[in-house]
Amino acid sequence: MKDIYLENDATALAALVASGEVTPDALLDCALERVESINPALNAVVMLQEDVARNAIRAGLPDGPFKGVPFLLKDLGAEAIDFPTNNGSALMRNSVHRYDSELYLRLRAAGLVSFGRTASPELGVGPVTEAQVYGGPTRNPWNTDHTSGGSSGGAGAAVAAGIVPVAHGSDGGGSVRIPASSCGLVGFKPTRARLPEGPGAGEGWGGMAIDGFLTRSLRDTAALLDAVNGPDLGAPYFPPPMQGSFVQALAAAPGKLRVALCPMTLSGEPVHADCVAAVEATGHLLESLGHSVEPVQLPPDLDVEAMMVAWTKIVACGTALSVRSVLNGRPMEPALLDGVTRGAVAYAEQISGADYLQAIEVVHAFGRRMAHFLIQCDVLVTPTLAAPPAPVGQLKPDNEDFLDYRTGPGGVFEYSPFTAVFNASGQPAVSLPLHWTKGDLPVGVHLAMPFGADEALMSLSAQIEAAAPWWGKQQELVNRLR
């Protein structure tokens, strides 16, 4: 049974449940055994609710596309009555929800068996998962001296290590794509507002945040996105409608595309040699598939740095709102918050309402300029990160100068200069596991397409997966950790 669990993706496991060859209880047994044997070294799974999962199985699971497949929720968002959350914070330890989020309801209807939550940095801020509430950092299963990424770092580590075949994540500045790159997984960020946010939020971080998934196979990603696709009732805005489904897009030929290749930052700064190699190899692959590939450097009027400062202001204000809503007028106890969170709250106090609105305008104007740039190409290809996964502690969230932590030398933006760009613009983007360093650390390649072009991006990703499959490489790690 263990071999079956570790050697199949979620789609295949669901098919085995449907045929009666395996049972949901047996799959859950495998997941829990994997937590017990592997999680102590990773610190990825931070809460278990086995009784909730067993009760759901006994009550009868919905006949959804993932009926019986074990699943983990991120310890941030995906509000559910049966799953308390810390939001990555000692201040919010074991917070209980009075409602089920629309996202969780759709995941449950898909037949997934949720049995716990995975680690997140405090309130989702940061590209590493090292929140004090968990008693230590979350580590990368490829090399535990390195980070699994953030903010969905626990989800990335759990999927890469074979604890679960798929897991929930969310992405406000790259928080699905960064751990996907760091852990050798697929991480797809849909177009803004493609997925539900309610009822707890109308939008996250000025519309820049959206949910997503960490998976080993693209078909799992597609089916999960289909299962939760569509805004919830009362959503403040809607994305362009899709013509079909994500799963249907897997089988559609992408046609000949104009590929803009950028093996450097969008501002023209150099990145790590392995990141350059990953992008250049992808360019050669895309040429061999019949696409037109040209090197590109973004025009200076896009002003990525100014956008990132605006992004930082919006996130600081969102972080301060979350903290203040919990404090409810009580004084803040510094020991209950990480340094970067205290810094975000302090930075937000310097931002007026007019400053916040101006930051929103800067982000929206950037999105419009990016949309104009993408008229001259169909897809922009870059590294996902500027370097392979960082050593644990390199980006430790103890810097109380929030702007410096994000945009200063050696800060988050220097390490992750690509992903937040497409949260700001709202465009669909994906990190694919296409490169590993000589030291066997994953390096993701990032593809972004115009606003609303989710199906085209899924089709191109499927073509790449067929031409350069990554399952075997992922399985090497799973087998190593048996």
- CA–CA dist 451, 206 (Å, integer): 17
Tell which residue, 279, 305, 304, 237, has the closest CA to residue 379.
279
**Beta-carbon contacts of residue 203 (< 8 Å; ≥ 6 apart):** 193, 197, 209, 236
Q: What is the pTM of this model?
A: 0.98
What is the per-residue pLDDT for 297?
Answer: 84
Catalytic residue list: 74, 151, 175
Residue 99 structure tokens: 């409602």
pLDDT tens per residue across span 23-58: 999 999 999 999 999 999 999 999 999 999 999 999
Give bridge partners of residue 443 from the DSSP assignment. 435
Tell me the C-alpha to C-alpha distance, in Å, between residue 459 and each of 189, 448, 466.
Answer: 14, 13, 11
- CA–CA dist 293, 129 (Å, integer): 36
pLDDT tens per residue across span 452-463: 999 999 999 999
Amino acid at 120: S
**Beta-carbon contacts of residue 55 (< 8 Å; ≥ 6 apart):** none
Contact 309, 351 (CB under 8 A): no
What is the per-residue pLDDT for 207?
Answer: 94
Q: What is the dihedral of CA 266, 426, 9, 441, to 10 degrees?
A: 20
pLDDT tens per residue across span 116-139: 999 999 999 999 999 999 999 999
Amino acid at 129: T
Q: What is the dihedral of CA 76, 233, 243, 18, to 10 degrees?
A: 60
Instruction: Count other C-beta atoms under 10 Å from residue 240's C-beta.
Output: 13
* pLDDT band, very low/low/confident/very high, at 315 (cuts 50, 70, 90): very high
On the question of pLDDT at 227 being above 90, the answer is yes
- CA–CA dist 10, 46 (Å, integer): 22
- CA–CA dist 326, 324 (Å, integer): 5
Amino acid at 112: L
